[in-house]
Every structure is written in C-alpha cells, then in structure tokens.
Structure 1
C-alpha cells in the first residue's frame, strides 16, 4: 500500500533560516497523525510544505507518490487552515454550496454532503444564517464542515478544535475516526 504522505530529510525555513529540519515521516491510508507542539514550533510550516505552499530548503515531500507542489493533487486534499476563509455576506449553506462547486460536486451530491457535514458540526439550525452573524466558534465549525465536504482522500486540519466546545469535539473525533476507518488519511495539528 502506497503512503499518503512521505517526507524525507525535510528542512524548511524562511529567508534561509531553518525553522524545521531533519523531518522524516510517513503517513499511510487510514491513519490519523497528530502534530503536537507549542505555538511557533513549526507545525503550520510543515503543513504548508506538505500542501506545496512553501518550497523546502532541502529534502522531499511526496503526497500520493507525487512531489509537491502539485496543483492536480489538491483536488484529493481537504484543508482547514488556522484562519477561517469564509464569505461573511453569504449564509452557511451558500458557503458550503460554493465550496462544493469548486470540488465539482453535482447538486445532488452537494445536498447530501451538506446534510452530512452540518450534522457533524451541529450547524443544522444555522444553515440559512449569514456568516457575518456567526461567533468565532461557529465559523470554525463551518470551516471544518467545508473541509469535510466530499471525498477527499487526505484531510489536513490545522488546529481544527480550537474554539470548539468539548461535546462537539467528541462528535468531531468520532467522525474523523470513521473517516480513517473508511481509508481516509488525516493529519492534524494541535497546540500543547
């Protein structure tokens, strides 16, 4: 079975100054890997290298057996960053529909997926509310729901449960465990 992520002798940094070095890592289909560390320890920098957002100083990053960056692989990756990139003037449903359209989902798939992901994050009764009226925690929930849309083979979640209450956190973990059982690979970060 091919590794979903394979990192060899990775060194990444900014302005020729290494931030993360000597990283060797493999993540296989169906695995959940958590990167733990305090702020500034390089978790997000590593994720950015895996996504192909920054170029390594040395070493290799391969996702699905291909070198990153690779724009075509992004269709197989669900990514949730630390910031919520949402359209405040749209409703939660409209945000979900927009991001589903970027993934080329049909109307029927979109409707089914929206129903599924809003259950996971308990946003059913807020679907038709404008995102501008959401609390910070609700925006995180919606960002996670958008990430869970569709059939991404790899989910990369940068601090997904920050600002989420403990009860919902348990529900989210149950969904992530089920996705892993279904063969999805999950990489997430969390602060100490």
Structure 2
C-alpha cells in the first residue's frame, strides 16, 4: 500500500506539491497524469525516498519514507524518463549502474525485473 498525507514541496517560490493526499491499495492500478511542471516527478522522487517533502508524510507497505528509507529502497525502483547524468548509457547500462548504487546486481534481482528485462532485449 502507498499512502501520502498532506505532501508539500516547493522549489524556491514554485510550489510543486500542495497538500497532496492519496492512498493506493495493494493490487490497485493507479496512474499519475498531468502536464509538465505539475509535480509528477517530484512526487515519484519523494515516493522513491530520493527527495524529502517540505511537510507531510508518505509511506509504502507501512514503512515511513523518512524513517525507513533503506527498507523502501530495497523494494522500489525509480528510472526517470530522462536520465540526465549519463545520457549515453543504454537502458541495460542504466539498470546495472543503479543496481551498483544500491549495492546489488541485476542477476541477484532478476526474478524481480524479469518481465521488464525481457522487454528491453530487442534494444540491446
């Protein structure tokens, strides 16, 4: 389950998230849509424990994103649409890079990513 309660995040004078609250139950399909600049990336960075909200709280499977970020990072992945640090890396290279960042390997986590990994096979 994913929960967000009164999330608020600003960048200077720009408000990215303003009192955002929602919950997503296990097995539920949930989409986040909106125009550029509407806060989607900010929300996903917060949910992936890569960015702290200014206020409010969020959690995944009962774990708090701030207190339990290490546990959350073991069960969640985040791949931005535009990978700005190394744009010349392939999808597979990005996956391997992020695996090393989290002190793991693709092979160790293959059962978790098998379906997605097979979809990128034609692009290797």
Q: TM-score, structure 1 length as denominator?
A: 0.49
Paired residues of 1:96 and 1:114 also in contact (CA < 8 A): no
**Which runs of structure 2 are paired with 1:20-169 in the superposition (5 Å)?**
20-69=17-66, 70-84=69-83, 88=88, 92=92, 102-104=103-105, 106=107, 110=110, 116-121=115-120, 123-124=121-122, 126-127=123-124
Deviation digits for residues 166-190 of structure 1, max 9, x if unmatched? xxxxxxxxxxxxxxxxxxxxxxxxx
For residue 79 of structure 1, report the CA deviation from its aligned partner. Answer: 1.4
SS of equivalent to 1:34:
coil
For residue 15 of structure 1, report the CA deviation from its aligned partner. Answer: 2.8
Separation in structure 2 between the aligned mates of residue 105 and residue 118 of structure 1, nearest angstrom: 9
Deviation digits for residues 60-81 of structure 1, max 9, x if unmatched? 1112212113123111002121
Deviation digits for residues 28-84 of structure 1, max 9, x if unmatched? 111221111110111111111212222222211112212113123111002121223
Paired residues of 2:49 and 2:72 also in contact (CA < 8 A): no
Aligned residues: CA RMSD: 3.3
Change (3 A) 1:41 1:72: same
Paired residues of 2:8 and 2:56 also in contact (CA < 8 A): yes
Separation in structure 2 between the aligned mates of residue 35 and residue 91 of structure 1, nearest angstrom: 23
Separation in structure 2 between the aligned mates of residue 58 and residue 97 of structure 1, nearest angstrom: 33
Q: Which of 4, 9, 12 is matched with 2:9 structurally?
A: 12
Give 1 or 2: higher helix fraction: 1
SS of equivalent to 1:32:
coil
Separation in structure 1 between the aligned mates of residue 49 and residue 91 of structure 2, nearest angstrom: 30
Q: TM-score, structure 2 length as denominator?
A: 0.70
